[in-house]
Amino acid sequence: MNILDKIVADKRIEVELRKGLIPVSQLENSILFERPTISLAKKLRNSTTGIIAEHKRRSPSKSVINQTSSVWEVAKGYETAGACGMSVLTDGKYFGGSLDDLLTARASSNLPLLRKEFIVDQYQLLEAKAYGADVCLLIAACLTRQEIKHLSEFAKSLQLDVLLEVHNQEELEKSLMPSLDMLGVNNRNLKTFEVSLETSKSLSTQIPNDFVKVSESGISSIEAIKELQPFGYQGFLIGENFMKTNNPAQSAIDFINMI
């Protein structure tokens, strides 16, 4: 069992518990549920930098990354830096995040917010909407084609943008459908944790131009972005590179100014 399988198994249990605590009606009645969402896909299409900056405290591959920077400061800083959007990790057990982080990011910035989560149930999409997200992440490695279709269509009914993440050709082939806005290629091998930009390059020709192409993981330099832009990538998800510093906001400002 790889780490993703383990996380997803735990997530299914967690979601069932959450359903028992907060009914759907309560999510639908929250103030943010009626808020018009901001399209990250549109922002990326019109941007010259395409940076989606992440808030991440820790991860299974790197353990502690940053436990001190407040979500409030990071979100405001990313917006000042000129990021196109912000990714907020909401998984608690493996990444130290929470839905409250999403709420804080929403209160402190006007950036499109991506709920970075292991989504296995439409209840989590209702949560994303209720807590101020504009975009949801679906991971092809832990969903069937039917699940991707069902969840992405449900997300669209909530006016959420959909970023679908793939790791290889097989996942990409099963995932292509009109209810997606962005296709993210994760350069990290889930079995070995090795990172290679070649994954994004080799899959780029298989992704139709209807979708915004996003490269994820291992983007820690301006060179990496310049290397991937000719392959049609308009979005670059950067997490650890900013978060591993003492001042993620300033790191993002310095990085984006160099592009």
Q: Are strands 58-59 and 63-64 parallel, antiparallel or unpaired?
A: antiparallel
Q: Among candidates 180, 230, 249, which has minimal Cα distance to 238?
A: 249
The catalytic residue among 79, 108, 109, 116 is 116
Q: Is the per-residue pLDDT at 7 higher than 80? A: yes
* Lookup: tokens for 214: 């996003």
16 is catalytic: no
> Using one digit for the tens of pLDDT, what is the confidence trace for 18-76?
999 999 999 999 999 999 999 999 999 999 999 999 999 998 877 899 999 999 999 99
Of 11, 43, 56, 129, the active-site residue reads: 56
Q: What value does the mean pLDDT take over residues 146-168? A: 98
Digit-coded pLDDT (tens) for 195-223: 999 999 999 999 999 999 999 999 999 99
Element (H, E) at 182: strand 182-186
Cα gap 172→175, rounded to integer Å = 5
Query: With the C-alpha atoms ordered 190, 193, 194, 198, is the resulting torsion angle positive or negative?
Result: positive
Give catalytic status of residue 54 as yes or no: yes
Q: Which amino acid type is present at position 193?
A: F
In this prediction, residue 239 carries a pLDDT of: 82
List 59, 87, 217, 241, catalytic entry: 217
Q: Specify whether 213 is catalytic.
A: no
Count Cβ atoms below 10 Å from residue 191 Cβ, excluding itself: 10
| Residues 120 and 103 sit within 8 Å (Cβ to Cβ) | no
Question: What is the distance between the alpha carbons of residues 132 and 103, in angstroms, rounded to a whole number?
Answer: 6
pLDDT of 2 reads 83
Instruction: Give all domains of the chain, ordered by start, each with its CATH number.
Output: 3-258 (3.20.20.70)
